[in-house]
């Protein structure tokens, strides 16, 4: 580990925390439906959308209506993308004449983007610009906007008193897209272009290298997709190499900004939550717990990657683990990127997680298994975290001798039931599908490596899918009907079987009376609460995966110490 490495980590953390407040203020304006400076410019567009779709943005929806509209919207969008991917060959903007995707691959891709996962069983280079721009990029925006809308609905559940509604899905989705994602991405994309990221309709350039070889470079509207891929925690790269590719991530500055943009909305939502419930310290407590988990993960990953592989040390190769890393970024920036992208449900990578040391690679895996709630995906991170907050309040809240309350709302049987239901989805899909793949011949055909490392590859795939991360451990032949199919199911369940109970909680909370805080109320700000929250997340959310981790990365690591590599 180096001073420079740690300085990068500290700098990143400081900027990320500092982003919380301004981003939170902006999100809060959208949450409340207030006018922003951008309304003068974009207000007519917003009204035009509502008029075209016949939507009254002021019409309040109950949680059921909100959920039905949201799921229906995503299902229609997924079907639309499926059609584009299948029919790519016949569609415009396809100068390379690329063929359409197989049915199972197209289904996997469509669901993957609709669920904000961006798991890529295909290589980015096999898609036409039309498919990338219309088929995928709309999801990058709308799945992110949907996540934020769900978070808004849950915030309203906590903030509202004795009402039956949680907001209007269409209004939330439109406002977030129009006043946050779109303008931010335009500025962000221009910044990336200035740093050297291509933005062009030219899809390929033939050139002669210095050695005289002929090479074809794939180009395209990269910068625009790159911006939303990061900001919306989507993670689906324009190129297969994702953010390790120099056209996606040209240098140190873009690398830092890309990492920050993964966290930007997530940290802002913690502040927005605090504002929504009328006590910004509530949001700060959540952010503090997230940052503690983030720094712990980063420290472990960086330490393991910097320590490197003892087997190679014996062979005289000194230094940390550089396998699968871009030399432009090095160990610290790669370890940090890996933790950031998995703490959030982004899934963009600037190094290959499969090539990390066993324990270094376990950190991203564990982050995903916790549900990607440490800052987390846009929206999904904070609502996942709040589910754990509900459980933590319930388990420990009784210890102060009152019916547990969180930010003024009593946590009762219905909320506990729904929170457990939502949280149980993760182990069910991740562990269940991994176990099935570990015994079924079609599943066993996937991993390229043997032993515990191969097991980690399968476990990582289903964790990434269910958690809607989308990063891959690589080393897994995933473009098969078995993995395409099951991963698509995992992604769909991981997304919507978590969102629907979350919305139900929002509805149930919104209908409740507000209980004013007294000195007898359970304190949900301050270090004690932060520690408790972390404890519950690790014990309830994390311990379940210990058997799997023991047989995967931990066994892998111990074998490495004994000189055996997989």
Partner 1 sequence: MTTASVFSADLVGSAVVDAFGKLSPRALVRNPVLFTTAVVALLLTVLLATGTERLPFGFQVQLIVWLWLTVLFGTFAEALAEGRGRAQAASLRATQSDLVATLPDGRQVPAVRLRRGDEVVVVAGELIPADGEVIAGVASVNEAAITGESAPVIREAGGDRSAVTAGTRVISDRIRVRVTQEPGQGFLDRMIALVEGAERQKTPNEIALTILLVGLTIIFLIAVATIPGFASYAGGSIPVAVLAALLITLIPTTIAALLSAIGIAGMDRLVRFNVLAKSGRAVEAAGDIDVLLLDKTGTITIGDRQANELRPLRAVAAAELARAAMLASLADETPEGRSVLVLVREKHGLATGILPPDAEIIPFTAQTRISGIKGPGGLMQKGAVDAILRANPDAAASAAAEELRRLTEEIARSGQTPLAVAQDGRLLGLLALKDVIKAGVRERFAELRRMGIRTVMITGDNPLTAASIAAEAGVDDFLAEATPEDKLALIRKEQKGGRLVAMCGDGTNDAPALAQADVGVAMNTGTQAAREAGNMVDLDSDPTKLIEIVGLGKQMLMTRGALTTFSVANDVAKYFAIIPAMFVALYPGLDVLNVMHLASPHSAILSAIIFNALIIPALVPLALKGVAYRPIGAGPLLARNLAVYGCGGLVAPFVGIKLIDLVVAGLDLA
Extract the tokens encoding 497.
Answer: 């079987």
Q: At which residue do the structure tokens 């003068």 appear?
A: 40
| Site size with partner 1, rule: CB under 8 A | 67
Contact call for residues 199 and 222 (beta carbons, < 8 A): yes
Q: Which one among 311, 395, 442, 474 touches partner 1, defined by CB under 8 A?
A: 395
Contact call for residues 232 and 345 (beta carbons, < 8 A): no
- 452 touching partner 1, by CB under 8 A: yes
Segment interacting with partner 1 (CB under 8 A) among 9-17, 74-82, 317-325, 433-441: 433-441
Task: For residue 298, give Cα distances in angstroms to 42, 263, 461.
Answer: 40, 14, 21
- 521 touching partner 1, by CB under 8 A: yes
Buried b (16+ CB within 10 A) or exposed e, 361-371: bbbbbbbbbbb
Extract the tokens encoding 557.
Answer: 């690591």
Q: At which residue do the structure tokens 């949907």 appear?
A: 146
Segment holding 51, helix H or strand E = helix 39-53
- 432 touching partner 1, by CB under 8 A: yes
Kindly tell me which of 296 and 424 has the beta carbon lying closer to partner 1.
424
Extract the tokens encoding 480.
Answer: 């098969």
- 292 touching partner 1, by CB under 8 A: no
> Could you give the CA distance from residue 466 to residue 489 in angstroms, rounded to a whole number?
8
Segment interacting with partner 1 (CB under 8 A) among 23-31, 79-87, 347-355, 418-426: 418-426
Kindly tell me which of 21 and 417 has the beta carbon lying closer to partner 1.
417
Extract the tokens encoding 113.
Answer: 């983007």
Contacts of 75 (CB under 8 A, 6+ apart): 114
Contact call for residues 365 and 295 (beta carbons, < 8 A): no
Helix (H, G, I), strand (E, B) or coil at 172: helix
Least distance (Å) between residue 558 CB and partner 1: 3
- 279 touching partner 1, by CB under 8 A: no
- 441 touching partner 1, by CB under 8 A: no
Segment holding 376, helix H or strand E = none
- 72 touching partner 1, by CB under 8 A: no
Q: At which residue do the structure tokens 């003024």 appear?
A: 408
Q: Which residues pair with 409 in a beta bridge?
A: 406
| Helices marked H in 474-526 | 481-510
The CB density around residue 190, as the number of other CB atoms within 10 Å, is: 14
- 448 touching partner 1, by CB under 8 A: no
Least distance (Å) between residue 548 CB and partner 1: 6
Segment interacting with partner 1 (CB under 8 A) among 97-105, 128-136, 303-311, 517-525: 517-525
> Could you give the CA distance from residue 188 to residue 201 in angstroms, rounded to a whole number?
19
Least distance (Å) between residue 411 CB and partner 1: 8
- 562 touching partner 1, by CB under 8 A: yes
Q: Which one among 40, 53, 90, 518 touches partner 1, defined by CB under 8 A?
A: 518
Least distance (Å) between residue 310 CB and partner 1: 13
- 449 touching partner 1, by CB under 8 A: no
Kindly tell me which of 208 and 518 has the beta carbon lying closer to partner 1.
518
Least distance (Å) between residue 419 CB and partner 1: 8
- 79 touching partner 1, by CB under 8 A: no
Kindly tell me which of 301 and 532 has the beta carbon lying closer to partner 1.
532
- State the residues that interact with partner 1 by CB under 8 A: 161, 391, 394-403, 408, 411-413, 416-417, 420-421, 423-424, 427-428, 431-432, 434-436, 438-439, 444, 451-452, 454-455, 458, 513-516, 518-523, 526, 528, 532, 535, 539-540, 543-548, 550-551, 554-555, 558-559, 561-562
């Amino acid at each position: 580990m180096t001073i420079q490495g740690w300085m990068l980590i500290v700098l990143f953390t400081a900027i990320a925390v500092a982003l919380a407040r301004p981003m939170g203020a902006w999100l809060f304006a959208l949450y409340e439906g207030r006018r922003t400076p951008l309304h003068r410019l974009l207000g007519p567009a917003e009204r035009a959308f509502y008029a075209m779709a016949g939507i009254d943005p002021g019409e309040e929806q109950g949680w059921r209506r909100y959920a039905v509209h949201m799921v229906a919207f995503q299902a229609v969008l997924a079907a639309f993308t499926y059609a584009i991917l299948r029919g790519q060959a016949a569609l415009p903007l396809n100068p390379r004449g690329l063929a359409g995707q197989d049915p199972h691959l197209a289904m996997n891709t469509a669901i993957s983007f609709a669920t904000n996962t961006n798991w890529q069983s295909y290589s980015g280079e096999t898609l036409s610009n039309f498919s990338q721009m219309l088929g995928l990029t709309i999801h990058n925006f709308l799945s992110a906007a949907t996540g934020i809308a769900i978070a808004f609905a849950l915030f309203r559940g906590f903030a509202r008193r004795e009402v039956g509604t949680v907001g209007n899905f269409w209004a939330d989705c439109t406002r977030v897209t129009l006043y946050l994602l779109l303008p931010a991405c335009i500025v962000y994309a221009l910044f990336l272009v200035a740093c050297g990221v291509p933005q062009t309709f030219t899809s390929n350039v033939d050139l002669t290298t210095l050695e005289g070889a002929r090479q074809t470079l794939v180009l395209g509207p990269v910068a625009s997709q790159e911006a939303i891929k990061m900001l919306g925690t989507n993670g689906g790269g324009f190129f297969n190499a994702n953010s390790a590719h120099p056209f996606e991530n040209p240098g140190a500055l873009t690398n830092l900004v890309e990492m920050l943009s993964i966290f930007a909305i997530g940290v802002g939502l913690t502040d927005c939550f605090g504002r929504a419930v009328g006590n910004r310290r509530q949001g700060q407590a959540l952010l503090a717990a997230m940052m503690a988990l983030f720094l712990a993960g980063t420290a472990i990953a960086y330490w393991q990657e910097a320590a490197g592989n003892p087997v190679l040390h014996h062979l005289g190769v000194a230094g940390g683990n550089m396998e699968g890393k871009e030399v432009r970024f090095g160990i610290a920036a790669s370890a940090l990127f890996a933790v950031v992208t998995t703490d959030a449900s982004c899934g963009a990578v600037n190094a290959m997680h499969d090539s990390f040391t066993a324990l270094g690679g376990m950190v991203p895996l564990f982050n995903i298994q916790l549900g990607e709630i440490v800052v987390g995906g846009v929206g999904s991170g904070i609502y996942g975290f709040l589910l754990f907050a509900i459980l933590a309040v319930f388990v420990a809240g009784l210890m102060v001798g009152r019916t547990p309350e969180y930010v003024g709302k009593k946590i009762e049987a219905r909320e506990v039931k729904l929170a457990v239901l939502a949280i149980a989805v993760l182990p069910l899909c991740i562990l269940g599908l991994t176990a099935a793949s570990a015994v079924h011949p079609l599943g066993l055909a996937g991993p390229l490596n043997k032993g515990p490392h191969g097991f980690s590859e399968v476990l990582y795939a289903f964790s990434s899918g269910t958690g809607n991360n989308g990063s891959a451990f690589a080393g897994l032949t995933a473009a098969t009907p078995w993995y395409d199919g099951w991963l698509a199911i995992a992604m769909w369940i991981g997304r919507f079987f978590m969102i629907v109970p979350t919305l139900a909680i929002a509805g149930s909370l919104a209908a409740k009376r507000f209980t004013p805080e007294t000195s007898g109320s359970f304190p949900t700000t301050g270090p004690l609460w932060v520690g408790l929250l972390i404890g519950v997340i690790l014990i309830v959310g994390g311990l379940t995966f210990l058997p799997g981790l023991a047989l995967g990365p931990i066994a892998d690591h111990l074998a490495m110490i004994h000189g055996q590599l997989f």
